[in-house]
Amino acid sequence: MIQIPKGCKDMLPSEAYLWQAVEQTARETAECYGFKEIRTPVFEHTELFLRGVGDTTDIVNKEMYTFLDKGGRSVTLRPEGTAGVARAFVEHGLQGGALPFKAYYLISAFRYERPQAGRLREFHQFGAELYGSASASADAEAILLASRFLNSLNLGEYTELHLNSIGCKHCRAKYAEALHEYFRPHVDEMCEDCRSRFVKNPLRILDCKNETCKRFTVGAPSMLDYLCDDCRAHFETLKSLLDAAGVAYTVDPRIVRGLDYYSRTVFEFTTDLIGAQATVLGGGRYDGLLEQMDAKPTPAVGFAAGIERLLLAVEAVDAPFVERLPDVYVAGMDAASRVRALEIAEELRSKGLIAECDLMDRSLKAQFKYADKLGFTFVVVIGENEMAAGEAEVRFMSGSEAERVKFGELAQYIRDYRRNH
Ligand code: ATP
Ligand code: MG
């Protein structure tokens, strides 16, 4: 048998409720801040990601699923969500619409990575994008949304917000120089990636996961000492908004996004519930992104959360989610009552209940066995006598005494029972 490709995961029906609960929580949270869903293609022209993600990133350097289509065009499976949303925003002229533009997405993303727990080749993200506002209140809103989302998943007390500012192009240039000086004596001992980061973008060395390189970052200069007056004021305003909203954070000068068009705010929510891949959500401000894509300069802020990592975390805590149990199994004793059973099941479904009946030509006993396995509370039994009387025998899987209920009153009976038990 052919097996699943490396780094991919199946979501099985038994796990569906947890996925759906996380997705539903994401939707409800984003929507209560006025964000609406956006869907963009799974693949885009490769060029979009070269510009929209940046060619000094791991994603562009080594992780993209890029191929030529049959027309010889280079296309890439999206490695993240922002570039596609930014493209759609420009392509549909939304810069001229109501600002700020607020959208969220629930997507699959693809990166050619070394698979580990919490690191996959196909993974899923919940993300939010907020375009058009340069104000620190927009950064605060993105963080509040992210924080409310994690709280609703019961992860509030298990996650920590790390916050930093990486300044603007002007103040960051001086910082990059200081980092250069600081790392120069060690560059030969660093990993290959960091040697090239040293030349192209020394900030990204701070983000290296290699233990040796990490050691050299201890004691590195902090961006916060290099912020210009405007960037400092922006950061101070953001912190005071978060304080006012009661969101706790740790200022962490080691959080970087490292691209030219990232500016000012960067943040990550981490957890120690799930091992090494501890970042469940990351975001920041990217005021230069739209300009980089040849669009009218537009300030932007957003974040993305990894659903698989969140699921690992949710499974590790007492999550507030339970699977909805099926309501009623309708069993027929003979050929004629099976037809009636199907009709009754249909009627119960149209009243919003989860109802099943036999599809396997099983005996009554075997139907009960199946209903028990699936966790039904009731089995409604229809036979010759029941059809003649127009009422069903309602049997409880719990063993309580059976009751007789008129066909037309079954739905109400089941609802009332559920409400009272
Ligand atoms: P990391 O440093 O862990 O590689 P990243 O900086 O590449 O993460 P982002 O591009 O910021 O990640 O993506 C946002 C979130 O998506 C991450 O915080 C993480 O939760 C999730 N994520 C990223 N890459 C993967 C992956 N390969 N598998 C599963 N989840 C991922
Ligand atoms: Mg990565």
Q: What pLDDT, in 10s, does the model give residues 158-216?
A: 999 999 999 998 999 999 999 999 999 999 999 998 998 898 888 889 988 888 998 98
* Alpha carbon distance 30, 128 (integer Å): 8
* Residue 182 falls inside a structural domain: no
Length of the chain: 421
Whether the CB-CB separation of 131 and 300 falls below 8 Å is answered with: yes
Task: Give me the chain's average pLDDT, please.
Answer: 94
Query: Which residue's alpha carbon is at the smallest distance from atom 21 of ligand 1?
Result: 306
Proportion of the chain above pLDDT 90, given as a percent = 85
Cis check for the bond before 202: say yes or no (omega within 30 of 0). Answer: no
Tally of structural domains, the chain: 2
Query: Rounded to the nearest whole angstrom, what is the distance from the C-alpha of residue 343 to the centroid of ligand 2?
Result: 53
Does ligand 1 lie within 6 Å of residue 410's CB atom?
Answer: no
Q: Closest ligand 1 atom, CA of 305? A: 15
- Is 133 in the same domain as 59? yes
The whole-number pLDDT of residue 44 equals: 98
Written as one string, the DSSP assignment of 304-373 is EEEHHHHHHHHHHS--S--PPPP-EEEEESSHHHHHHHHHHHHHHHHTT--EEE-SS---HHHHHHHHHH
Among the residues of 159-282, which ranges form H helices? 169-183, 192-200, 211-217, 229-245
Listed residue (283, 241, 5) closest to 130, CA to CA: 283
Cβ of residue 78 lying under 6 Å from some atom of ligand 1: no
CA–centroid distance, 160 to ligand 1, in Å, is 16
Output the six-digit token pair for 208. Answer: 């290296």
Confidence of residue 258 (pLDDT cuts 50, 70, 90): low
Q: How far is the CA of 46 from the centre of ligand 2 (A)?
A: 18
Residues 276-327: tens digit of each pLDDT: 889 999 999 999 999 999 999 999 999 999 999 999 999 999 788 999 999 9
At 58 the pLDDT is 83
Residues 233 and 155 in one domain: yes
pLDDT band at residue 421 using 50, 70 and 90 as cut-offs:
confident
Ligand found nearest the CA of 309: 1
Q: Does residue 246 sit within a domain?
A: yes
pLDDT of residue 91: 97
The last residue of a domain, from among 281, 316, 351: 316
Alpha carbon distance 314, 210 (integer Å): 28
pLDDT in tens, 29-83: 999 999 999 999 999 999 999 999 887 788 888 899 999 999 999 999 999 999 9
d(CA 200, CA 84): 25
Ligand 1 pocket: which of 119, 274, 281 to mutate (most atoms within 8 A of CB): 119
The domain spanning residue 389 has which CATH number?
A: 3.40.50.800
- Write the residue with the smallest CA distance to atom 5 of ligand 1: 282
pTM for the complete prediction? 0.93
Instruction: Report CA Rg, the chain.
Output: 28
Of 316, 336, 366, the domain-final residue:
316
Q: Is residue 8 in a domain?
A: no
How far apart (Å, rounded) are the C-alpha atoms in residues 66 and 74? 7
To test the ligand 1 pocket, which listed residue (309, 310, 311, 314) has its Cβ within 8 A of the most ligand atoms? 309
Please tell me the distance between residue 395's alpha carbon and the centre of ligand 1 in angstroms.
50
Ligand 1 atom closest to the CA of 283, numbered from 1: 11
- Predicted confidence at residue 319, as pLDDT, reads 80
| pLDDT over 90 at 261, yes or no | no
Burial zone of 385 (CB within 10 Å; 0-12 exposed, 13-18 middle, 19+ buried): exposed
Report the SS3 class of residue 110.
strand
DSSP 75-87: EEE-SSSHHHHHH
pLDDT at residue 9, as a whole number: 96
Any atom of ligand 1 within 6 Å of the Cβ of 127: no
Q: Is residue 213 in some structural domain?
A: no
- Pair 29, 81 in one domain: yes
| DSSP 8-state assignment for residue 243 | H
275 and 352 inside one domain: no
Does residue 416 sit within a domain? yes
If asked whether residues 232 and 351 sit together in one domain, one would say: no
Q: Within this chain, do residues 337 and 311 fall inside the same structural domain, yes or no? A: no
Which ligand minimizes its atom distance to the CA of 208?
A: 1
CA angle 312, 317, 320 (to 5 degrees): 105
Given this model, what pLDDT does residue 413 score?
A: 96
Report the pLDDT value the prediction gives residue 57, as an integer from 0 to 100.
82
Helical (H) or strand (E) element with 49 = helix 46-52
**The pLDDT value given to residue 194:** 92
Ligand nearest to the CA of 122: 1
**pLDDT per residue over 315-328, tens digit each?**
999 788 999 999 99
List all residues 6 or more positions away from 319 whose beta carbon is below 8 Å from its beta carbon. 18, 21, 153, 154
Confidence category of residue 392, pLDDT binned at 50, 70, 90: very high
pLDDT in tens, 343-389: 999 999 999 999 999 999 999 999 999 999 999 999 999 999 999 99
CATH number at residue 103: 3.30.930.10
Nearest CA to ligand 1 atom 14: 304
Shared domain check, 373 and 293: no
Ligand 2 center to 59 CA (angstroms): 7
Q: Residue 198 domain-assigned?
A: no
Joined together, the tokens standing for residue 5 give 């490709």
In a domain, 50, yes or no: yes
Task: Evaluate: CB of 285 within 6 angstroms of ligand 1.
Answer: no
Tokens of 223: 């961006």
Q: Which atom of ligand 1 is nearest to the CA of 310?
A: 20
What single DSSP character describes residue 220? P
Domain that holds residue 338: 328-420
Q: Which two tokens stand for residue 323?
A: 């699977």
The residue out of 271, 288, 316 marking a domain boundary is: 316
The amino acid at residue 337 is: S
Per-residue pLDDT at 201: 85
Rounded distance between C-alpha atoms, residue 401 and residue 378, angstroms: 11
Q: Residue 147 Cα, ligand 1 centroid: separation in angstroms? A: 17
Residue 309 Cβ contacting ligand 1 at under 6 Å: yes
